[in-house]
Structure 1
Amino acid sequence: MIESYQLTQGDTPLLISMPHAGTALTPEVEAGLNKAALSLADTDWHIPKLYDFAAELGASRLEARYSRYVIDLNRPENDAPLYAGATTGLFPDIDFDGDPLFRDGQVPSKEEREWAKEHVWRPYHNALERELARLKARFGYALLFDAHSIRSMIPRLFDDQLPDINLGTFEERSCAPGLSKSLQAVCSDQSRFTHVINGRFKGGHITRSYGDPANHIHAVQLELSQRTYMNEPGDDQQIFAYRVDRAAEVQPVLRKVLEAMQRWGEASYSKS
């Protein structure tokens, strides 16, 4: 069994969570997936590489190892729905386009799902909770940035082309309004990438559950359009390939977003 996550501890109040970057499969899930699903198309591809500058910022990083097709770390353990429209659950049996993931009769068993909860979902969330507690104990507050990406065109999930940068603060319930405004200002200060806050993606289970501004834990989700840093279906080159040229344009914006979180935290809590 592989480790379900990798945690790299930093020396600032910022923790970057990457719950959908994993590609590992359990034997049962791998054996059951149909040919199309084995491409793992719904992965948040290359997120650790895209954020490789985070070490320079002193941020902690928590990276998932298992694919969301094993279990979705950004869904509640009881599988309560997060969105009113089309979505996928804790144990996806369809992909984002609504197509089946598993061959007939090969959906993971109840025992396999319980294993995934015990050995994948809970360890990740325990690590997330412990690291936030460590940061808050050391600095008096913690900042959680939940890093995601998604294809820019998925008609089942949203109309038309998705904005490039999709910030979510659970309608400003997962972080202080001042932090939300700081991040919006960063996005508005550039014209290369389109952006929105609390649009189609308002923040998933991690943002909603761990963001607790009253207790000095501020959480923000970023759902980044994959066309900003990699090949998508329909591109002429290799599908899902990381594009250094595209990434070089969006990384400075991502860095400014994270630096704005850190500056806001320092300014806000140096007064207390």
Structure 2
Amino acid sequence: MRDRYPFLISIPHAGVSVPPEVRGLVNLSREEVVFNSDPHTRLIYGFDGAVEALVDFDISRVFVDTNRAPYDYPPRAQDGVVKVITQDGTPVFRRGQIPGREVIGLLLENYYHPFHGRLARALDTRPIRIAFDCHSMLPRSPPVRMDAGHPRPLFCLSNRGDRNGRPRAAGALVTCPPEWLQALARSFQAEFDGEGRVAMNDPFRGGFISVAHHRRTRIPWVQVEINRGFYETEGREADVAHLTKLRERIFSALTGFWDEVSG
């Protein structure tokens, strides 16, 4: 039994805090901020002590989305590094109060770049062999997406490839070898056999975090999404004991995969 697995765990959307730079501008209730974040993912993916590095983030993705490019902000984008609307189309900020370049610059300087700096330092100083960018997803596609209302799988594993994990075109980027992604999908499917589908690059193909840090280091990255319907009630509550058991099962899937491909 090894002491630590050579994994980097990134949990960018668990935070629900509102940064002081935008307090007073926000149109959302506390409940809406939490719903539009990735609640419970810090517990679900909290493999502290069993992996080489774990990097999480306290600020809600509504206000600073570290999985978007730093130049992808309003008015150029509504779903960029700073959101203009939520997943159900609710305005994030009060009328006429959308942050301008100066405030967005502060958000990037104070929160966004330090998060990516922590990822980079972990990759550069720890014996990381693979990184997982860990998220949750709504049970069905939200109204703002083109596939609104479409049911989602139990897990989505992404490497920017096709639905078999292979490059979408000759020479196209994938952030993890297809054979590894396929082995990871098999490990998840075995652990959660009969409980739901494990998909590759459907409905998500991976975001900025995976692509940017893979390009720089060539260390493999996989984006992991779990369906919130698997652990949340209709009232959006979750049982801590259930989440703890779920964390153990997800870690079992990750380590089972690694023991297979690194043996």
Q: Which amino acid aligns with 2:225?
A: E
Q: Which moved more, 1:70-79 or 1:28-37?
A: 28-37
Q: CA RMSD in A?
A: 2.5
**Shift, 1:110, TM fit:** 2.1
Q: Decide whether aligned partners of structure 1 residues 56 and 121 sit closer, same or farther in structure 2, where only a CA change above 3 A counts.
A: closer
The alignment status of 1:177 with 2:164, answered yes or no, reads no
User: Is the contact between residue 11 and residue 57 of structure 2 (CA under 8 Å) also seen in structure 1?
Assistant: yes
Q: 1:243 aligns with which of 222, 239, 243?
A: 239
For the residue of structure 2 that corresponds to 1:68, the secondary structure is: coil
5+ residue gaps, structure 2: 166-173
Cα distance in 2 between the residues matched to 1:28 and 1:191: 46
Q: CA deviation at 1:87?
A: 7.4
- CA distance in 2 between partners of 1:151 and 1:259 (Å): 26
Measured after TM superposition, the shift of residue 132 of structure 1 is: 0.8
| 2:137 paired residue number | 150
Structure 1 equivalent of residue 60 of structure 2: 67
* Superposition deviation, residue 180 in structure 1: 0.7
Question: CA–CA distance in 2 between the matches of 1:131 and 1:30?
Answer: 31
Q: TM-score, normalising length from structure 1?
A: 0.79
Among candidates 241, 258, 262, match of residue 258 of structure 2 = 262
Structure 1 stretch 219-228 or stretch 103-112: which is displaced more?
103-112
Give the Cα separation in 1 of the matches to 2:52 and 2:40.
18
Residues 69 and 91 in structure 1, CA contact (< 8 A), matched pair in contact too = yes
Q: Identify if the C-alpha distance between structure 1 residues 212 and 246 changes in structure 2 by more than 3 Å, giving closer, same or farther.
A: same
Task: Please name the residue that 1:103 is paired with.
Answer: 94
Cα shift at 1:247? 3.0
Q: 1:212 to 1:242 in 2, by over 3 A?
A: same
Tell me, yes or no, if the aligned pair for 2:139 and 2:227 is still in contact at 8 Å: yes
Q: Which residue of 2 aligns with 1:7?
A: none
In structure 2, the CA distance between the partners of 1:110 and 1:216, relative to structure 1 (3 Å rule), is: closer
Q: How does 1:96-135 map to 2 (within 5 A)?
A: 96-135=87-126
**Gapped regions of structure 1 (runs ≥ 5):** 1-9, 81-85, 268-272
Tell me the distance in 2 between the aligned counterparts of 1:163 and 1:174. 21
Given the two structures, how large is their TM-score scaled by the length of structure 2? 0.82
Q: Is the 8 A contact 1:75 1:89 kept in 2?
A: yes
Q: Distance in 1 between matches of 2:82 and 2:105?
A: 11
Say how many residue pairs are matched: 241
Q: Contact conserved, 1:50 with 1:247, CA < 8 A, in 2?
A: yes
Is the alpha carbon distance of 1:243 and 1:102 closer, same or farther for their aligned partners in structure 2, counting shifts above 3 Å? Answer: same
> Which residue number in structure 1 is paired with residue 36 of structure 2?
42
Deviation at 1:264, TM superposition (A): 4.7
C-alpha distance in structure 2 between counterparts of 1:217 and 1:152, whole Å: 30
Q: Which residue of 2 aligns with 1:6?
A: none
% identity of equivalent residues: 25
**Would you say the 8 A contact 2:42–2:56 is kept in 1?**
yes
CA positional deviation for 1:28: 4.0
Q: Distance in 2 between matches of 1:87 and 1:17?
A: 24
Structure 2 distance, partners of 1:60, 1:96, is 30
Q: State the Cα deviation string for residues 140-170 of structure 1 (Å, max 9, x = none).
A: x521100001221224323422111111111
Instruction: Write the letter of the residue equivalent to 1:49.
Output: L
1:210 aligned to which of 201, 213, 216: 213
Q: Is the CA contact (8 Å cut-off) linking 2:153 and 2:197 kept in structure 1?
A: yes
